[in-house]
Chain A
């Protein structure tokens, strides 16, 4: 019998050895894969044991995200709290157990949980681990300007829309407002998510979680004439003084495309007019003719030079950003036969299937303001360790030269004309030269427009540039609806920004 007992003994030990092999597999080879799984609640809970870094506005005092300590089953856990209840919510995002993370809370998680690869952070975290004390994350200071952001949010309240303002020479984002906003504290509450979704606003669905500034896609309307003009001037086909005849409409495929209705109801016809004045008065017929001369491909190439057709770089998650460009069936569309597939005249003044984000249009304005050099937009000013030393300070980063300094200067003058005597007079600020461009984009519904204003100031040494969009306004013209909001936001920024510059 002993031989069989030995065989059974060996079989038993083999069975038990397989358990050690299995354990080794899950705890070494498969460990990373398990930890990365979205439903891995242990990883999620473990994150709550870390005292996340705080998020501040640019003044370094206004707390946008902080922690409350709570004891759960003997464990000290840190839950997020958002003391401002909705300041730039879509950009800051949230970190919750129930719905994971969004915004900067998601994308800057490594810094906020001190798991970034910085050597100093590594050693202080290691020290915390060995001592068994709570790991404290790095604090993040944003570029957001408290006053201007609040102005933007209060002026957009009740409406659907967005405002993005940044420093054209550094790319520092002063304002990123998306309306309606939401209180991120609701995220952890029972039914909080439903409450957020039920937020009332002029549009339906109100979609408060959507960051309209970076992922909302809207027809740019006449603000797109800036791109068309840049292409025409870059190619030296036209100069600002090139003359056109405006019959009040433009003929495409044998059909009339009328100029925008003026506030009194009839289509305007200017007769003989320069490219410069056609921009100032936003004459569609002229830009339609310029477009026909340039061709679809040329216009799209110019747009690409400004960053269209690629995701604008930003510290928020990629799924919360959208690329601007032509859209077909809800996805970015690069037409195979651009000259026949796309209506060039309508494209030239920002209709057709061209859809843009407010961030992209703010970048267009900033690029003109910065002499044709497009800067990377940055929400984060600096990352500071718990002990106060700077882990990472954002440096201005030039993305590309989008257009020549000469073209940028010409367009700047045209934009100054818009505010001084054109469609954008509502943006005038006493004592400061403002440059701007209105946009009133058809939405498909009769007399309902998306109202735009892109701008920068002061025109000769710009410290702020930006875009304002207000969705679906009945008879809402860019100059009347968006320009006053842009003016108020710039006024809130200008003193501080001018001081910072000197």
Chain B
């Protein structure tokens, strides 16, 4: 069977799963949703098929597993988003159409040789920085949940950080390919770029209050630097620098400090000062409310889960229990409804995606392609770890999205670009052999 036929076969399986998911939500919540919900499943099967046809044309030799896995994750996400709030699912559906279009544009536009991107590396570098600081522009930026990550233009809201991540990876892949021999010598003066990026990450942290993104960009950078230079000492020094910077931020920036306190001690037995209301309250009723409610959601899922559409996300009077449940905290919603079995299966799909991405990096011929594929894949893995790890209280919780699954247009578009990048690299690697 050819790669594309294999892809089509898997997509049909994913399409059937999507249909089952929506049917399950429909059965569980008949009074709230209509048969029309199943049209979402049909729309998705249609979109997958469009993406598949584009892949056939543009990247015929690309890895056949990536698109079905991305499709599955997106379907799981939209099903849960639909279950949590049908109107959000409609917007998300529109964004997925945009994302598939962007995917089509990327693979079709770069199908001859995506390595032309190397020539514009500084454009990507500068672009990444500009995007990162866009939310700081007065009148354009928007502070959500204590972090300034959004820009809004009219009715549209966009998180430029998601796109900046991809720009940064493209820039680093090109830059490190060029400079890797020099950097590999490990002379002190070559540490310049390392310090520069560290400074950049810290600046991001300080200006946007966003621990998660700083961690993500910096982690991607360290991983790519290590791949390019094979010097573990860079990673050691880099991690040390980050921890030092993080500790400094923890002591100086209230928002960062709060996140750490919530992480270490979400529950208190005595009332502590609550900065949100200015009164004394138990921490679980104040700052760590969201984390604690999310843990209750995960815990109540148990082994088998409540079932799609059967979970509890509102109080008996109909108020939302977990704030941001369909973006940052979608994992705790899924864990409640799908249980340990479903949540683990979901994480296994993430792991398989990462495994395929890394395999592509290994198969790629040239340094730029290897760095690009490995960077995109590691970014995907690290982002998943940061948000799910935060929700599970492994690390302090920070607001970033779960790739492909979370509600959010910029996130979906950016992740389809990751998919496009990996399929382009894969197609080239497989075509040459």
Does A9 interact with chain B (Cβ within 8 Å)?
yes
On whether the beta carbons of B302 and A31 are closer than 8 Å, the reply is: yes
Stretch in A72-80, A192-200, A328-336, A460-468 with 4+ CB within 8 Å of B:
A72-80
Scan B289-318; emit 1 where CB is below 8 A from any A CB, else 0: 000110111111111000000001011111
Cα of A74 to Cα of B300 in the assembled complex, Å: 20
Segment from B41-49, B149-157, B377-385 that makes contact with A: B377-385
Instruction: Quote the shortest CB–CB distance from A190 to chain B (angstroms).
Output: 11
Q: In terms of DSSP, what is the predominant structure of the interface of chain A? A: helix
A46 at the interface (CB under 8 A from B): yes
- In the complex the two chains form, what is the Cα distance from A23 to B401 in whole Å? 18
| CB <8 Å contact, A15 and B385 | yes
Quick check: B29 and A74 within 8 Å, CB to CB? yes
The distance from the CB of A355 to the nearest CB of chain B, in whole angstroms, is: 30
Q: From residue A362, how far is it (CB to closest CB) to chain B in Å?
A: 38
Which residues of the other chain, A, contact B33 by a CB distance below 8 angstroms?
A: 74
Q: Does B228 contact A (CB under 8 A)?
A: yes
Report Cα–Cα, A26/B367, bound state, in Å.
42
Interface bits A25-54 vs B (CB < 8 Å: 1, else 0): 111101100110101111111101000000
Q: Which chain B residues lie closer than 8 Å to A1 at the CB level?
A: 227-228, 230, 367, 370-371
Contact of B358 among A12, A28, A42 (CB under 8 A): A12
Nearest A residue to B29 via CB reads A74
CB distance from B300 to the nearest CB of A (A): 5
Most buried by A among B226, B299, B302: B299
Q: State the CA gap A20–B347 with chains docked (Å).
A: 7
Separation of A341 and B378 alpha carbons in the complex (Å): 77
- Expressed in whole angstroms, the Cα–Cα distance for A79 and B318 within the complex equals 13
Chain B residue numbers with a CB within 8 Å of A97 are 315-317
For the complex, count residues of B whose C-beta is within 8 A of A.
Answer: 61
B285 touches which of A17, A39, A43, A46 (Cβ 8 Å)? A39
- B223 sits at the interface (CB 8 A): yes
Contacts of B245 in A (CB 8 A): none
* Chain A, interface residues (CB within 8 Å), range: 35 or more
* CB proximity of B395 to chain A, nearest CB, Å: 10
A4 within 8 A of B: yes
User: Nearest chain A CB to B387's CB is how many angstroms away?
Assistant: 10
Tell yes or no: A18 within 8 A of B by CB: yes
**Do A35 and B317 have beta carbons less than 8 Å apart?**
no
**Contact assessment for A27 and B358 in the assembled complex, using a CB-CB cutoff below 8 Å:** no
A-side contacts of B351, CB under 8 Å: 13, 16-17
Question: Which A residues are in CB contact (< 8 Å) with B127?
Answer: none
Contact yes or no, B227 A71, CB < 8 A: no
Contact B392 A22 (CB under 8 A): yes
Q: Which residues of A contact B238 (CB under 8 A)?
A: none
Q: Which residue of A lies closest to B335 (CB)?
A: A23
26 sample A-B contacts, Cβ–Cβ < 8 Å, listed by A number: A1-B367, A1-B370, A5-B358, A6-B358, A8-B223, A8-B226, A9-B374, A15-B381, A16-B347, A16-B351, A16-B384, A18-B394, A19-B347, A19-B384, A23-B343, A27-B303, A28-B340, A37-B267, A37-B296, A39-B282, A39-B292, A41-B321, A42-B300, A46-B312, A72-B317, A97-B315
Nearest 3 A/B pairs, CB to CB? A34-B299, A74-B32, A9-B358
A42-B296, A72-B318, A97-B316 known, 17 other contacts, Cβ within 8 Å? A4-B227, A8-B226, A12-B381, A16-B354, A16-B384, A18-B385, A23-B392, A25-B392, A27-B299, A27-B302, A27-B343, A37-B267, A42-B297, A42-B300, A45-B315, A71-B31, A77-B316
B→A interface (CB under 8 Å): 29, 31-33, 223, 226-228, 230, 267, 282, 284-285, 292-293, 295-303, 312, 314-318, 321, 335-336, 339-340, 343-344, 347-348, 350-351, 354-355, 358, 361-362, 367, 370-371, 374, 377-378, 381-382, 384-385, 388-389, 392-394
